[in-house]
């Protein structure tokens, strides 16, 4: 199998796991992609990893970790716009901002509305 095929499989596995709400497995797939290959948008994949880990921390009750990783991922996505890897970046940034505001206004992770998790729109 070619590197391009392996890379696509890892990216799509991450998307599928994220979509199912298994943020840990999504992060694992994207981490394998990010660490095993060299490609131009590594920063974007790192942002997806950090977004996923934010929700892993949140589900474990670690609000500080969740907030920190969300801020880091926002920085990673700042260089992107339009549609990237079939994801609407403007919608993603807007959704992450909504999560950030919610994180700032809750004390406990149990107060989080999981419907706010950004949908990674794949066309």
Helices 42-59 and 3-20: crossing angle, nearest 10°?
Answer: 30
pLDDT band at 2 (very low <50, low <70, confident <90, very high): confident
| Each residue's pLDDT tens digit, 61-116 | 999 999 999 999 999 999 999 999 999 999 999 999 999 999 999 999 999 999 99
Q: Bridge partners of 87?
A: 84
Q: Which residue has the higher pLDDT, 28 or 123?
A: 28
Helix (H) or strand (E) holding 88: strand 87-88
Q: What pTM, to 2 d.p., does this model score?
A: 0.96
DSSP of 28-76: HHHHHHHHH---TTHHHHHHHHHHHHHHHHHHTT-HHHHHHHHHHHHHH
- How many Å is the Cα radius of gyration of the chain? 14
Q: Tell me the CATH class for 3-116.
A: mainly alpha
């Amino acid at each position: 199998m070619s590197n391009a095929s392996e890379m696509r499989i890892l990216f799509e596995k991450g998307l599928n796991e994220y979509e199912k709400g298994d943020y840990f497995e999504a992060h694992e797939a994207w981490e394998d992609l990010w660490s095993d290959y060299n490609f131009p948008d590594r920063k974007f994949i790192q942002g997806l990893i950090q977004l996923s880990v934010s929700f892993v921390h949140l589900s474990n009750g670690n609000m500080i970790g969740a907030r920190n990783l969300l801020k880091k991922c926002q920085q990673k996505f700042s260089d992107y716009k339009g549609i990237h890897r079939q994801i609407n970046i403007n919608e993603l940034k807007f959704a992450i901002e909504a999560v950030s505001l919610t994180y700032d206004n809750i004390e406990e992770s149990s107060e989080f509305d999981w419907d706010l998790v950004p949908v990674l729109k794949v066309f």
